[in-house]
Amino acid sequence: MTTEGVYRLVGCSPSPFSRKLRAILRYRRLPHVWIVGTADTVPEVAHVRPRLVPILRMPDSGEWQVDSTPIAHLLEARHPDQRSIVPPDAADAFVCHLIEDLADEWVSKMMFHHRWTDDATADWAAHWIVRDAMPKLHGAAHDSAARFFHDRQRSRMAMVGCTPDNAPLIEAGYRRLLDLLAPQVGGARYLFGSRPSLADFALYGQLAQLTIDPQPQRICRERAPVVESWTITLDDGSGIDGEWQPEKSAGLREALLDMIGAEYLPFLAANAAALAQGASDVSVNIRGATFAQAAFPYQAKCYAEIRARWVQLDPQVRASLAPLMTRTGCLAHLVE
């Protein structure tokens, strides 16, 4: 394969967003090279800011892009006829964006909690991450790097809401998600038909970690083994051919919107309000429990993007979605 027209994707296997973007490139059959590493270990991306993975290099301009969601939409614009992952119907596309955001910003808390709360899983994950990103380290150097990463990640848990007080809500959310997905996914069953969407890939990214880390993997295998199989299949969907058939998975989408309306959007609204008031922390009642964490500007940006997308919909599309958004508790968080 020549390098002309080939994307360069720098990421890490233990990164849910790296796996998400790699799976999108594979499904869309976009030529790419997968490079394992970070800004600290891959010199060619040392200058890229912010220092996050994944990072994707454009094959024509050589420009590097970060943040999996904007990259996914950039790829849609660059390759509109190449196995799109955004449903063609405007209402479905809006719901797809909502579910993708749930996965990226809320299910990610489930992943982070389960990876770093359990001692054995945290130790396993720290060593895996160092082996993946810094394979040349061995012996004491490897162990030291693993301990540093382990301690750094655990020190960040409260910042992202993964605290002992929030643990019951987060753990119940993971079980609830598995219970929703288990009867509805598997084989050629996805959120909008027999082909995967951007929302499917976002869920895949988080589940790719939750179904490999020892402690949450055990939960998945006991509760919803089909979800692990579905996740494994979606890792490389280059051979999947399907159709947009949203009517076949409407029940699953509504159930996920129920989770968004009950958990994710109330958090986003409270987070945005806290930031607007200059508060450093956010506290919100979710399913009868108090969820608290540091206020996050990025998640305020996510909330603004969701609301902007709602406003930008054609009025007839908004009207068609309003009953669903009302039933699931989402509408109150989408309008002023």
CATH assignment at residue 44:
3.40.30.10
How many domains does the chain contain in total?
2
Q: How far apart are CA 30 and CA 293, in angstroms?
A: 39
**Same-domain check for residues 248 and 291:** yes
Question: Does the pLDDT of residue 298 top 80, yes or no?
Answer: yes
- Cβ partners under 8 Å of residue 298, min gap 6: none
- Cβ partners under 8 Å of residue 277, min gap 6: none
> pTM of the full predicted structure?
0.97
**Same-domain check for residues 50 and 187:** no
pLDDT digits (tens, 9 = 90+) for 231-283: 999 999 999 999 999 999 999 999 999 999 999 999 999 999 999 999 999 99
**Same-domain check for residues 178 and 292:** yes
pLDDT digits (tens, 9 = 90+) for 89-105: 999 999 999 999 999 99
With beta carbons less than 8 A apart as the criterion, state whether 25 and 43 touch: no
Q: What is the pLDDT of residue 1?
A: 44
Asked, for residue 136, whether it belongs to a domain, the answer is no
**Same-domain check for residues 167 and 315:** yes
Boundaries of domain holding 284 = 90-115+162-333
**Same-domain check for residues 56 and 198:** no
Q: Give 3's pLDDT tier (boundaries 50, 70, 90).
A: low
**Same-domain check for residues 317 and 168:** yes
Pairing state between β 7-11 and 32-36: parallel
Asked, for residue 64, whether it belongs to a domain, the answer is yes
pLDDT digits (tens, 9 = 90+) for 145-190: 999 999 999 999 999 999 999 999 999 999 999 999 999 998 889 9
Break the chain down into helix, strand, coil percent, rounded to 5: 60, 10, 30
Asked, for residue 83, whether it belongs to a domain, the answer is no
Cis peptide bond N-terminal to 54, omega within 30 = yes
**Same-domain check for residues 19 and 100:** no
**Same-domain check for residues 317 and 231:** yes
**Same-domain check for residues 223 and 109:** yes
**Same-domain check for residues 38 and 107:** no
Asked, for residue 144, whether it belongs to a domain, the answer is no
Region of 55 please: left (phi>0), alpha (psi -120 to 50) or beta.
Answer: beta
Residue closest to 272 by CA, chosen among 317, 305, 241, 250: 305
177 vs 12, 23, 98, 102, 196, CA distance in Å?
A: 25, 21, 15, 11, 18
**Same-domain check for residues 230 and 316:** yes
